[in-house]
Amino acid sequence: MSKLFTPVTLRGLTLRNRAVVAPMCQYSSIDGFANDWHFVHLGRFALGGFGLVILEASGVVAEGRISYGDLGIWKDEHIAPLARIVDFLHEHGSAAGIQLAHAGRKASTPVSWRGPADLETEEQRRAAGYEHWQPVAPSAQSHDPNDPDFQVPTALDAAGIKHVIDGFVAAAVRAEKAGFDTVEIHAAHGYLLNQFLSPLSNHRTDEYGGSLENRMRLVLEITEAVRAVWPADKPLLARLSVSDNAPGGWTPEDSVVLARELKARGVDAIDCSSGGLAQGRITSAAAYQVPFAKAVREGADIPTMAVGLLGDVAAAEAILENGEADFIALARGALDDPNWAAHAARVLDGDYALWPIQARRVAGRDQVLGIRD
């Protein structure tokens, strides 16, 4: 059996394979609620054979959403529609995760496909669930002063930081009630926790700013608090921007230090991405972020997820075989081919078992077409 389709266990959770659907914001929610779009969008990945499906960045507090269209998990009423999705994923063999997130200074931004003309009337705004609010951040500095979509945030004070920590904890409790198998703490892509980590966005002079130890403090406090309420037999994930990809910014070496501390506090795997600050630049290419997953895996001795243009099946298998990462996570690749895992199993192992029973006639079609014996 291929490495990609060898089951893997994290704490008490065994995944049927190492193919993961990475979180993808859909900007299709009103007041944070999951709806039929989310149900169908996410459910198809279970039918497509993925081992783990991680729901999009979900606001742990209302003001922590990237946009008014984001999913939320800041109130108990969000639990039931999320549980409906979890139940379907479980029924069809996938584990379910959710990314707990706070956008910080990148909050309250527009939904890209909806312009001012679409929000002119009160009726239009109500139908879209439009909201606008004041973001918060470690420092009162815009994500990008040259982009009017980003506001100058309010710097968090002690009470504000406590509110953020409490929001993550309460969200984790709700995720457990909804039946999720894992939660992922989002500390990447220029959002709030990444903003605290990076010296490019954190200009504080208190215990949350300055030194690497201080800049890591909030992420570690949140991790400890979430791990304390998250069941001991369920894994905890963290997503990092392993590098800011910018001079003077957060580095892979910093990520190794942080990953060691996260592991010591009960994190079981690191989802390795990069970038997210306006100053950062990296050229995208197939598997371009795999070196980040390898660096963290080797430096911190912790399982990692590779992500970023990983749709080539043979290359994905090689990444695992070479010990560069432990999981292969797809986002846009999964959008392009929701059955990627089932297709990959056919390519690597000649196996059709990941197809739902209702769809296994695909094997007969492939035989007629000469794709299989």
Active centre residues (catalytic): 191
In 3-state terms, what secondary structure has residue 370? Answer: coil
Q: Cβ of 346: how many Cβ atoms within 10 Å? A: 21
* Cα distances (angstroms) measured from residue 159 to each of 107, 156, 170: 19, 8, 16
Sign of CA dihedral 112, 161, 190, 333: negative
Dig out the tokens for 23 from the structure: 């979180």
Three-state secondary structure of 37-51: HHHHHHHHHHHCCCC
- The residues, any chain, with a CB within 8 Å of residue 205's CB and separated by 6 or more, are none
- The residues, any chain, with a CB within 8 Å of residue 161's CB and separated by 6 or more, are 208, 218
- The residues, any chain, with a CB within 8 Å of residue 261's CB and separated by 6 or more, are 216, 220
Query: Which of 156, 281, 135, 141 has its CA nearest to residue 201?
Result: 141
* Cα distances (angstroms) measured from residue 85 to each of 62, 66, 289: 21, 22, 30
- Give, for 70, the enclosing helix (H) or strand (E): none
Phi, psi of 213 (to 5 degrees): -55, -45
CA distance 58 to 70: 7
Residue type, 292: F
Phi, psi of 252 (to 5 degrees): -55, -35
Fill in the DSSP letter of residue 99. E
Contact indicator for 251, 241 with CB cutoff of 8 Å: no
